[in-house]
Every structure is written in structure tokens, then in C-alpha cells.
Homo-oligomer: A and B are copies of this chain.
Amino acid sequence: MSPATTRPTDSEDAAAAARAFLADFRSMSTFGATTGGGVDRQAGTAADGQTRNWFRGLVEGHGFEVRYDAVGNQFALLEIAPGAPYVAMGSHLDSQPLGGRFDGAYGVLAAAHAAIRLHDTPATAPAPVFNIAVINWFNEEGCRFKPSLMGSAVFTGKLPVEQVLATTDPHGTTVREALASIGTVGDFTLDVAAYLEIHIEQGRSLEDHGLTIGLVESTWGANKYEFVVHGEQAHTGATVIADRHDALLGASLLVAAARDIADEFSTDEHAVITSCGEFTVFPNSPVVVASRVDLLVDLRSTDAEVLATADAELHRRIAVIEERAAVSVERGAEHIWASKAYDSSGLELATASAKKLGLAHGTVRTLAGHDSTNMKDIVPTIMLFVPSVEGISHNEKELTSDEDMLAGVDLLTDLLGRVVGGEFVASNQNRN
């Protein structure tokens, strides 16, 4: 069970393990499959439930026990050090509508295969000091139920469980009802010592630099706002321009302002990324001036001061937009994530594994949020990326090559052996 034995040394065993991973990946990708080559497995839907049950069957076949907590996080447990805390690995099986096959799902399956490989390897090393858990976090995507990273936020104490269970989707279905409908809910809790996550990059920096493995050194800071633009419903034909309070115009100007701000900072060392991902118009009828638009605007930067400057500029522009469109802009819920570094000793350990396996690697930052963003605040955490072809993500065309996927599983397997063996955190440091 030492690092030297965590990867099949026999080339036939290695080839069989690779084939097994790719076969499981193809099976998994059939759940919620879309005609465009992606998947639609929004959290708590039937397709999400099917994928969870398929995953349960897969890992139970390899000796794992499967448990659920109160918000539907799925824990696949492999007890190899009775009574010890767990090294957890995970990601998410839910997807965006018309999402890709790799986002989240790759990380869950890679974690399961890393654990299986480690478990199946003849134990020639010291006994493990931790148990292993593979976690499929509930609702990482946040498209059906907001916010994103929901399951890991509850697990890490950032969101109250009752608030999450009462959260509704656009049709009024609660998380509680959705979880009951797919039946994957329980009252399990887990004692975690460390957390590892592997994910597709969803950007193009690895590809641009010819790297196979990204070692994530920090998250970007993000300010996410839910805005409501209030106008006045009116007839599009009969109402003269001067009498209009056009919520759609106000919201459109806000979208344009967000992009202008990103462009203003594009020459700065600490670039700002701005986005509007959701934009819903009421009543959205052909001949009616909109009374209201709900939209999300987010600003991201690696530098806290730059982010604050961009944020102030956004709010200055909102005042101008309110005047221009004769509307009022209400700021609703906000989600603020500070830029934060991952554990530096974890980076060193992952670097050692990548070097040993001869994988081209480098450090990267993540603009996207991941469940590790939450987990790193409560336990030592390592986050790894594999390349996304052309950086395309949240898209049916999302792609990571078989070769890169397998390199990631190899790396995670080696790293897991080290962490389970006590090289990342000592067994007596981690009871909390």
C-alpha cells in the first residue's frame, strides 16, 4: 500500500484498469444523455437519481458501503483502517441542462477508480492510517436549486440544512421533495481528515501550455449578485418612450456594463471576469414592456483590491442605468467568495506524484467554484485539473481526451496512496 505499489506495475493490469475506467465512464455518460453528446442531469431529477443508483451499484460491486446525509450527499465508504477518520475524494454527478459528460462526473468516477486500484493492489506497504470515502456532492451546479455547491456548503456548515431543504426550484418543488422523489437521502455524517478532488479545467490554460495536470494553488475571488430590475408593465406600441419604465432595457444595460467592466480591467495584471448567467423577463409577452427582470451578475478576480474596484464601478454604473431606463435596481441575495490559497504541502505532494509518473504539470488558479472550495476551509485539501479541449465547458461539446482522463486517475491513485499512508496529514491531527 506504499506509493510505489498504488499503480499496477504490470502493464497488462494497467491496461485492464484503464479499459475498466473508460468502460465505466461510457456507461455513466448514458444517464441523462442528450442528442448533442452531453448530459442533462440537473440535481434531484430522475436522471440524477438514475446516475446515483448506477454509481451505488458500481462501488458496492467493489466492496464499498454507500450512505447518504440529510441533503443527499452520497458517500461511498471503503473501510481499510477500522476506526480511523476518512480521506475523502469527490466531485458531483449532477450537471447543467445540456451540460457536458465530464464536468464533475469525471472526478467522482476517477476517485472511485483510484480507491478501487489502491484497494486491489497487493499490500506490500505499511498499513493505511485512514479510511477512504468517495463523495458525490448534491447539487454542485446550482442551476435547478440555487446556490451552487449546495451539498458541500451544508457539509461544511456554511448553509443550514433546513434552509437548503426548503429551497424551491422554478416550479416550486423543494429540495426536500426532490430528494424524496429520487430516494437518495439519509442521516449519515462523516469524519473527514483530508479532501482530494480532480476535475476538468473548464478553461484552456493547461492546453495552451501543453500540460496534462493542473495543480490548483488558489481560487479566484467572486462577488455574485442577484439583481431585480423593477419597471412598469405597459403596451409596447401605444406607450410613448418618455412614459416607459422598461425593466428589460435596464437589465440589458446592466449586462452590457458588466462586460465593459471586464474590458476596462483586461490590461491589468489581475484581470476581472464578469458574467450574467441567468436573466428572466416578466411577463415576457410580445407586446408588453417588461415590468421586471431577475438577473445574476458576477465579478471574479484573483486580487481582492481589484475586485473591490470593479465592484464599485458596477454599482456606480447601476445608478446611471436606473436614470437612463427609468427603473429601479434592487440588489437581492449576494454570495461573496474571497480568493483563497489551497494547502501548499498538498501542492508539493501532488507535484511529487506528477513527477514520479512523468506527467507534465503546472500550477493554475480556478475561476470556477468547486466543492473543494468549501472543503478546503475545514480540512487540508488538494485540487487537481485535467485539460478541457479548447476550454469548452457547460456545453455538450465539453471534451477531455481518454489519455488525459487516465493520466488523472493514475495521478489521483498515486496521491491517494500517499495521503492514506499519512504523508499529507498525520492520523492524530485530524479528529475534529
Contact = CB atoms under 8 A, between A and B. Distances in A.
Interface of A: 96-98, 141-143, 146-148, 201-204, 220, 222, 232-241, 243, 246, 248-249, 251-253, 255-256, 259, 262-263, 266, 271, 273-281, 283-291, 296, 298, 300, 366-369, 390-396
A255 B236 CA distance: 13
**This chain: copies in complex:** 2
Nearest to A293: B279
Contact of A393 (B220, B234, B290): B234
B146 A240 contact: no
Top 4 A-B residue pairs of the complex, sorted by shortest distance between their CB atoms: A236-B275, A202-B238, A252-B252, A252-B255
A238 B286 contact: no
A393 B277 contact: no
Contacts of A263: 241
A276 B237 CA distance: 10
Contacts of A289: 275, 277, 394
Given A204-B240, A237-B273, A237-B367, 14 more contacts: A203-B238, A232-B392, A233-B394, A233-B395, A234-B394, A236-B277, A237-B300, A238-B391, A239-B393, A240-B273, A241-B262, A249-B276, A275-B287, A289-B394
Contact of A255 (B248, B266, B271): B248
Contacts of A248: 255, 276, 279
Contacts of A367: 237-238
Contacts of A274: 241
Contacts of A204: 240, 243
A237 B368 contact: yes
B266 A96 contact: no
A203 to B, nearest CB: 4
